[in-house]
Structure 1
Amino acid sequence: MTTKKILFALFFLIILMIGSIFWVQHKLNRYLNTPRVEQAMLFTVDSGSHFSRLGHTLLTAEIVTDLTWWKALGKLHPELTHIKSGTYQLQQGFSLNDILITINKGDEYQFSITFVEGSTFNEWLQILNNAPLIKPLQENEQQIAERLGSPHQKLEGLLFPETYHYTAGMSAYQLIEKSYLHQQQVVEKLWAERDKDLPFKTPYEALILASIVEKESGLSADRDKIASVFVNRMRIGMRLQTDPTVIYGMGERYDGRIRSKDLREDTAYNTYRIDGLPPTPIAMPSEAALYATLHPATTKYLYFVSKGDGTSYFSKSLKEHNQAVRKYILGK
């Protein structure tokens, strides 16, 4: 073979190799960047998964239709092979490249769970039990309180109501612990800044009244005046006489109505029968309710009644209060 023919053959082989490299790169780029996710979805990478196993998981989930280029992808793009287990949200139009970047970063999907102001611990339990991909509680309320280091056996009022975020596999206890610590911080701060001469010996007593203020407040603007009513009653030794505590004491027996016999019943939470505060909060108060309780309006009000529009009518005397009841409740 002449030198000219050898050079031509070498040139042809080089062109063929370059063409093959470009062809492989084109195919791999297409495999990597073609949109794969038709609609947003959650995708879980199991603990212990590696790059090869992830490919089969994607194939089973029908996110990819074949693994022809999977091994080549791992060799040519080793930066995409660092798999982190977890649950991820794959957005509509995500390509394989988008998926692998998300999984490599470990950007797990953040679930949200909301506990509203005035909710009870039993309602929290229902919400937690219905939350997706969260480890359920293994302990009862008293055991949880002990684990948290709380001096109280009931958790009512001790958890801060708001929206929390968690990742798949997080335990319900972790969320409760987070809300407990948050509530402690809020109570400690507001207690230190409280008004003088309030009828509370401890922050826990303030929490108890704040939970009542929370349940009685139809309008946030009325909170400090409602708090003033109860603070004024406590100062003169008058019973609190508030329906939400009666309802709490009735528990599951409450059917939406309070009857005369319920107001006469001797329970630890019937503030028509007991002096002072009930033994525990009756709900999870908001920071605003606790603030109002520790900074009540300066009033001489001893009574209030709902006007039916979310606001309340406040009275200084029983006579005025009875007139308001006839107007706003009885419609006379």
Structure 2
Amino acid sequence: MRRLLWVLVSGLSGLIIWLALFFIRPLPLPHTPYAFELSNGLGLRAVAQQLVQKGVLTEPWTFTWVGRILGEQSHLKAGSYEWTQPLTGWQILRQMARGEGDAWQVQIIEGTTFAQLRTLLAQQPNLRQDSAGLSDIAVMAHLGAVGQRPEGWFFPDTYFYNPGESDWNILERAYRAMNERLAQIWATRDPDLALTDPYQALILASLIEKETANREERARIAAVFLNRLRLDMRLQTDPTVIYGLGADYDGHLHHRDLHRDNAYNTYTRNGLPPTPIALPGAAALRAAVHPLAVSDLFFVARGDGTHQFSTTLEAHQLAVQRYQIKRADRP
């Protein structure tokens, strides 16, 4: 009995010491700083084995066993974990369970086109390119929007992702975010707004986004476009012409381009273009449904990031003479 008791006490003491070391003994890192990439879908045992292979852990069993006892077997968060000093096994497990690693991020800028968005995603490190090679129509079908044109439908924002994550996750989140934001903003629209549905607001917001980055001017530019629509005047906005030119745009907008008719040329066609021409942000969306109460019909760039607004053609022509022709002729 004494021998059995001694064995039990010794075994329990060894177990306590073994666990104590896991919680209090810093593990020697192969080098500092040391980065460890935790991919999506890995369980405790697989992570522990990788840490052993990298020379961080000496054996995988303690990490796996403690993680299971604490119920963390399905809670490890993918990410990039960088350690500048030795940590205990418990500290490493806790960091991964809490997701305290550095996630990657991709920033979608307001005014980006959908084609530019796809290029941006294709350039992201550690992002799985599952949508590569698919047409725009196929991308939208995958998102549950069969037959819908993609331009405008992805909300500009900063999206975080974990190493090995699919590009579909970002596309789905951006698409869902735009649908939600557009619905929320449309619900607050002015009662006398001269737009019939949220999609028209999305189109108008994209024009506003491409015309100005000045937050003080967005609602006034919205008013100009809406005033023109009420009077059945052509919008005559250069960004739509540039969008319609596509690959033919050489970086300069020529007079001849204004007369090249296509569905997006608002110099040759009345009304809004058939789709948005970029991805608008929340400020442009709000401006589209809350235009300023002014009678302006024209605006021209001053060359400093702001615009000169006019209510008459005569005043507009004077503004063009002052701010455009004297500065530089259109090529």
Q: Is the 8 A contact 2:154 2:178 kept in 1?
A: yes
Of the structure 1 ranges 124-133 and 222-231, higher mean CA displacement relative to structure 2 is found in: 124-133
Q: How many Å apart are 1:178 and its aligned residue?
A: 1.6
Question: Is 1:41 the counterpart of 2:35 in the alignment?
Answer: yes
Q: How many Å apart are 1:121 and its aligned residue?
A: 0.4
Provide the rounded CA distance (Å) in 2 between the counterparts of 1:112 and 1:234.
40
Q: How many Å apart are 1:206 and its aligned residue?
A: 1.4
Q: How many Å apart are 1:82 and its aligned residue?
A: 5.5
Provide the rounded CA distance (Å) in 2 between the counterparts of 1:190 and 1:76.
49
Counterpart of 2:303, as a letter, is: G
Of the structure 1 ranges 137-146 and 76-85, higher mean CA displacement relative to structure 2 is found in: 76-85
Question: Is 1:131 the counterpart of 2:117 in the alignment?
Answer: no
Provide the rounded CA distance (Å) in 1 between the counterparts of 2:213 and 2:250.
21
TM-score, with normalisation over the residues of structure 1? 0.82
Q: Is the 8 A contact 2:27 2:56 kept in 1?
A: no
Counterpart of 1:41, as a letter, is: A
Counterpart of 2:268, as a letter, is: R
Counterpart of 2:260, as a letter, is: E
Q: How is 1:88-237 mapped onto 2 (pairs within 5 angstroms)?
A: 88-97=80-89, 98-105=91-98, 109-136=102-129, 137=131, 139-150=134-145, 152-237=147-232
Counterpart of 1:230, as a letter, is: F
Task: Specify the alignment match of 1:330 in structure 2.
Answer: 325
Identity of aligned pairs, percent? 34
Q: How many Å apart are 1:109 and its aligned residue?
A: 4.5
Q: How is 1:28-107 mapped onto 2 (pairs within 5 angstroms)?
A: 28=21, 32-34=25-27, 36=29, 38-39=32-33, 41-44=35-38, 47=41, 51=45, 54-63=47-56, 67=58, 79=69, 84=76, 86-97=78-89, 98-105=91-98
Q: How many Å apart are 1:200 and its aligned residue?
A: 1.4
Counterpart of 1:103, as a letter, is: M
Q: Classify 1:217/1:200 alpha carbon distance in 2 versus 1 (closer, same or farther; 3 Å).
A: same
Q: Classify 1:72/1:148 alpha carbon distance in 2 versus 1 (closer, same or farther; 3 Å).
A: closer
Provide the rounded CA distance (Å) in 2 between the counterparts of 1:192 and 1:72.
55
Of the structure 1 ranges 130-139 and 178-187, higher mean CA displacement relative to structure 2 is found in: 130-139
Provide the rounded CA distance (Å) in 1 between the counterparts of 2:316 and 2:21.
80
Q: Classify 1:32/1:214 alpha carbon distance in 2 versus 1 (closer, same or farther; 3 Å).
A: same
Q: Is the 8 A contact 2:22 2:62 kept in 1?
A: no
Of the structure 1 ranges 172-181 and 77-86, higher mean CA displacement relative to structure 2 is found in: 77-86
Q: How many Å apart are 1:233 and its aligned residue?
A: 0.7
Provide the rounded CA distance (Å) in 2 between the counterparts of 1:169 and 1:29.
29
Counterpart of 1:244, as a letter, is: P
Structure with more of its chain in helix, by fraction: 1
Task: Specify the alignment match of 1:296 in structure 2.
Answer: 291
Deviations 1:119-152 (A, max 9, x none): 1101110111112222221532112222333365
Larger radius of gyration: 1
Deviations 1:224-276 (A, max 9, x none): 11111111111111100000001101112212101122111011111101111
Q: Is the 8 A contact 1:88 1:102 kept in 2?
A: no
Of the structure 1 ranges 206-215 and 74-83, higher mean CA displacement relative to structure 2 is found in: 74-83
Of the structure 1 ranges 167-176 and 36-45, higher mean CA displacement relative to structure 2 is found in: 36-45
Counterpart of 1:90, as a letter, is: E
Task: Specify the alignment match of 1:315 in structure 2.
Answer: 310
Task: Specify the alignment match of 1:255 in structure 2.
Answer: 250
Q: Classify 1:151/1:260 alpha carbon distance in 2 versus 1 (closer, same or farther; 3 Å).
A: same
Secondary structure of 2:200's match?
helix
Q: Is the 8 A contact 2:155 2:174 kept in 1?
A: yes
Gaps of 5+ in 2: none
Deviations 1:13-40 (A, max 9, x none): 99xx79x969x66994699314526125
Q: Is the 8 A contact 1:80 1:101 kept in 2?
A: no
Task: Specify the alignment match of 1:6 in structure 2.
Answer: none
Q: Is the 8 A contact 2:208 2:221 kept in 1?
A: yes
Secondary structure of 2:251's match?
coil
Q: Classify 1:238/1:39 alpha carbon distance in 2 versus 1 (closer, same or farther; 3 Å).
A: same
Q: Is the 8 A contact 1:49 1:85 kept in 2?
A: no
Q: Classify 1:149/1:49 alpha carbon distance in 2 versus 1 (closer, same or farther; 3 Å).
A: closer
Counterpart of 1:238, as a letter, is: M
Task: Specify the alignment match of 2:233 in structure 1.
Answer: 238
Q: Is the 8 A contact 1:74 1:80 kept in 2?
A: no
Q: Classify 1:79/1:108 alpha carbon distance in 2 versus 1 (closer, same or farther; 3 Å).
A: farther
